[in-house]
Amino acid sequence: MSNENVMTRRGLFAKIGILLNGLVAAALAVPIGRFLLSSITRGRADGYLSWVSLGPVSQFPEGETRLATFRNPYVMPTDGKTADTACWVRRVDADRFQVFAVNCAHLGCPVRWFPQSGLFMCPCHGGAYYRDGARASGPPERGLFEYPYKVTNGAIVIQAGELPTPGSTAAADKRQPPCA
């Protein structure tokens, strides 16, 4: 009572106890944090992206746009059908392609191709795109997302693996002019 600054033996032990718990908590926080953030850290340096085949180029007639599907390269055993992904393949001419994500560049709903009017239309908020993926009208601020592609051994192969979203690296391809 006379001197509150005096450290008693039990007081010291209590403080050591708190310190010890703090140390153990800090040590455990590292693996817990790494576990929680693993879905982010794994994707660093394009860890999720791979080249996937969409099948032989002969499936895609010149001048037409067709729906193709592929299995996402990064899968978990519980994914079921959700790891199957669709994309729109436009064959411009013999060796030029455009592979669009089905996800609208506005908020990700699946756009549908209408060959008669040459437009992709989104069922959610009314976005529309021209045949080359450029924005035609509606709320999207940019054109459709495009997958990088190459033709290997007569098959069209795209680089995919991440959900394309307006802010993702997969979407950081060229911004298209508002009018084509």
Count of residues that interact with another protein, criterion CB under 8 A: 61
Give the separation between CA 135 and CA 180, rounded to whole angstroms. Answer: 8
Where does this chain touch another protein (CB under 8 A) — which range of 9-17, 52-60, 132-140, 146-154? 132-140
Restricted to residues 158-177, the positions that interact with another protein (CB under 8 A) are: 161-163, 165-169, 171
Restricted to residues 18-77, the positions that interact with another protein (CB under 8 A) are: 36-37, 39-40, 43, 48, 67, 69, 72, 74-77
Which of 66, 98, 110, 159 touches another protein by CB under 8 A? 110
Give the separation between CA 65 and CA 68, rounded to whole angstroms. Answer: 10
CA angle 137, 85, 171 (to 5 degrees): 50
**Residue 141 binds another protein, judged by CB under 8 A:** yes
Find, among 159, 137, 141, the residue nearest to 150 by Cα.
159
Q: How many residues can be counted in the chain?
A: 180
- Token duo for residue 157: 């192969």
Which of 51, 55, 66, 83 touches another protein by CB under 8 A? 83
Residue 151's contacts (CB-CB under 8 Å, 6 or more residues apart) are 57, 95, 97, 157
Site residues (CB under 8 A) for another protein? 36-37, 39-40, 43, 48, 67, 69, 72, 74-86, 102-103, 106-112, 114, 116-119, 121-126, 128, 130-131, 136-141, 161-163, 165-169, 171, 179
